[in-house]
Amino acid sequence: MQPLLYKKLDNNNVQCNICYNRCIIAPGKVSRCLSRKNVDGEMVLNTYAMASSIAVDPIEKKPLYQFHPGTKVFSVGGWGCNFQCKHCQNWHISQDMQENKGYCLPPEKMIELAIEHKCEGVCWTYNEPAIWLEYTIDSAKLAKEKGLYTAYVTNGFMTIEALDLIAPYLDVFRVDLKSFDDEFYREISGIKSGKGVFETARHAKELGMHIEAVTNIIPTKNDSEENLKNLAEWIAENLGKDTPWHVTRFFPNYKLDNIEPTPIETLKKAEELGKQAGLKYIYLGNIK
């Protein structure tokens, strides 16, 4: 496995170009996402085949409502993330590296288990899949050879050049569109700007992938009418009015445990704004 998309710099530093953080990693150090390490001036993916979580899920759980509904998908998560979301439900795997735990799951074993459990597809989820790009590419190639569909459940922050590498083997881009406001991405997710998310999502559409978008609505953070209107209009104009938009209810978690759950009325307002923008499929989530 040869690590992809990195550049050698002076003083044995390396720059990773898999996501828009474009981390510069000093010798012996790791990237922001925890998955990349600089070993003697070479970038190494130190989480290859290290799975934190595996499960057999209904495809609707991702949530994906309009891609092979009623099928089972083999879900796999890794370690680390290029975001540091304050409300992350999976913070114990996305923001902590526990190398002595989890599963060794080579691509061949992943696909073997998917078939054994009668899954029609495979999905990389629970943490950001792009950060172990090489592993997902190797696994996706084998999945396609066996007739399985492939899906990313992603925060969308991978670079366009990274998406292009896996695109021939990736069917679904289930993307979080967290906010239309960069301040949200800075405050809640710890990155400078969410612009790259929207650029890459648009590119996934151009590549012909099936896209469904999710916005977890957090009171006082991304629940303004202006923000929700901008998101709905952007989806309609750039991803298409047939693109499903899942607006989901926030519950207190991790570092945002002091914020009340999202009122159902807020989700209904987002639904109304989505319809006004011309979106045909809007789903309210986390309300049962």
Task: Tell me the per-residue pLDDT of 153-207, one tens digit each, with 9 for 90 and over.
Answer: 999 999 999 999 999 999 999 999 999 999 999 999 999 999 999 999 999 999 9
Helix then strand count (H, E) for the chain reads: 8, 15
Q: What is the pLDDT of residue 3?
A: 80
pLDDT of residue 170: 98
Task: Say which residue the tokens 């409502």 belong to.
Answer: 65
pLDDT, position 2: 74
Q: What is the pLDDT of residue 1?
A: 63
The residue ranges of the chain whose pLDDT is under 50 are none
Give the pLDDT score at 37. Answer: 96
> CA–CA separation, 115 vs 161, rounded Å?
30
Domains of the chain: 6-45 (no CATH), 50-285 (3.20.20.70)
Label residue 190 left, alpha or beta by phi (over 0 means left) and psi (-120 to 50 means alpha): left
In angstroms, the CA 287 to CA 83 distance is 26
Measured between alpha carbons, how far is 15 from 3 in angstroms, rounded to an integer?
Answer: 12
132 vs 78: CA distance, rounded Å: 8
Helix (H) or strand (E) holding 271, with range, is helix 264-276
What's the token pair of residue 136? Answer: 């997902």
- The distance of Cα 127 from the centroid of its chain, to the nearest Å, equals 7
Describe the crossing of helices 133-145 and 107-116 by its angle, rounded to 10 degrees: 50
Please report the pLDDT score of residue 288 as a whole number: 72
* 93 close to 77: Cβ distance less than 8 angstroms: yes
How far apart are alpha carbons 160 and 168 in whole angstroms?
Answer: 13
Check residue 12 and give left, alpha or beta (phi > 0: left; psi -120 to 50: alpha). Answer: left
Using alpha carbons only, how large is the chain's radius of gyration in Å?
18
